Amino acid sequence: MLAGVLRIRDRALQALLWQRARPPHTHRWSLPGGRLGPGETVERSIRRQLAEKVDVRELTHVEQLSVFSAPERVPGKRVVATAFLGLIPCDADPTLPEDTAWHPVESLPATAFDHEEILLTARERLRAKLSYTNIGFALAPPRFTVAELRDIYSAALGYRVSATNLQRVLSRRGALEATGETVSSGPSGGRPPALFRFTSRDLQITDAFAVLRPPS
């Protein structure tokens, strides 16, 4: 099993990779993963492997992505991989081992095997689900301003999102609510920005037929 773990940081969608210590593809960056343990569900196994191998414990969402079975994907004996999408919130900053790092998905280093293909598949799955579910909760902190949420969606989708439209769409779907709190308006003054939160931090389909599209 392999885990494509994504987060938003520095206004970019980033992926978690670690450097292989043995051949084939020694020193290339690869996805963390491992084998399913006795008595484990696949989700519990993925969470355990990420905690044990790269010290990541802040997963807010895990789902099966796809099975990758191209005969030539790994040199030598044929290996079939089941890949998973994992998300962590932008305010989490796990301490990583020296051989592990976050990389922008738009400028990945040379990766082992078909791991770049798996990450791009994970990115497209996330982008699709941002259209018709509340999966943004898994990338966002517990409370945020609309401007902060706009930056999260923009980074994940790969294009600039209107904060006003985003707030209107998510509120109309019942996915977003005001907390009744505000943050400091800063030295420039003005109206203090309101804080919002997702109404649920479990995955829900909010509009089965919705598609978020780049502005024309």
Average pLDDT, the chain: 92
Give the structural domain span for 11.
2-122
**Cα–Cα distance, 122 to 42 (Å, whole number):** 17
Share of the chain above pLDDT 90, in %: 70
User: Would residue 139 count as lying in a domain?
Assistant: no
- Partnered with residue 9 across adjacent β-strands are 12
175 located within any domain = no
Burial label for 172, CB within 10 Å (0-12, 13-18, 19+), is: exposed
Would you say residue 113 lies in a domain? yes
0.85 exceeded by pTM: yes
Q: What is the pLDDT of residue 36?
A: 83
DSSP string, 92-108: --PPPPTTEEEEEGGG-
| 163, part of any domain | no
When pLDDT is averaged across residues 106-117 and rounded to a whole number, the result is 96
User: Is the predicted pLDDT of residue 66 greater than 70, yes or no?
Assistant: yes
| Proportion of the chain above pLDDT 70, given as a percent | 97
pLDDT class of 185 with cuts at 50, 70, 90: low
Q: Within a domain: residue 36?
A: yes
Please name which of 84, 103, 107, 90 lies closest in space to residue 150, comparing C-alpha atoms.
Answer: 90
In this prediction, residue 17 carries a pLDDT of 96
Number of domains, the chain: 1
The CATH number given to whatever domain includes residue 52 is 3.90.79.10
For 126-174, what is each residue's pLDDT tens digit?
Answer: 999 999 999 999 999 999 999 999 999 999 999 999 999 999 999 999 9
The pLDDT value given to residue 62: 93
Q: What is the mean pLDDT of residues 120-124?
A: 97
Q: Which residue has the higher pLDDT, 175 or 79?
A: 175
Range with the poorest average pLDDT among 31-45, 75-89, 145-159, 161-175: 31-45
Angle formed at CA 84 by CA 5 and CA 152, multiple of 5 degrees:
40
Is the model's pLDDT at 200 over the cut of 80?
Answer: yes
> Looking at the predicted structure, is the pLDDT value of residue 49 above 90?
no
Q: How confident is the model at residue 68 (pLDDT cuts 50, 70, 90)?
A: very high
Q: Is residue 212 part of a domain?
A: no
CA 148-86-83 angle, 5° bins: 145
Burial level of 206, CB count in 10 A (0-12/13-18/19+)?
A: buried
Residue at 37 is within a domain: yes
Is residue 16 in a domain? yes
- Cα 211 from chain centre: 19
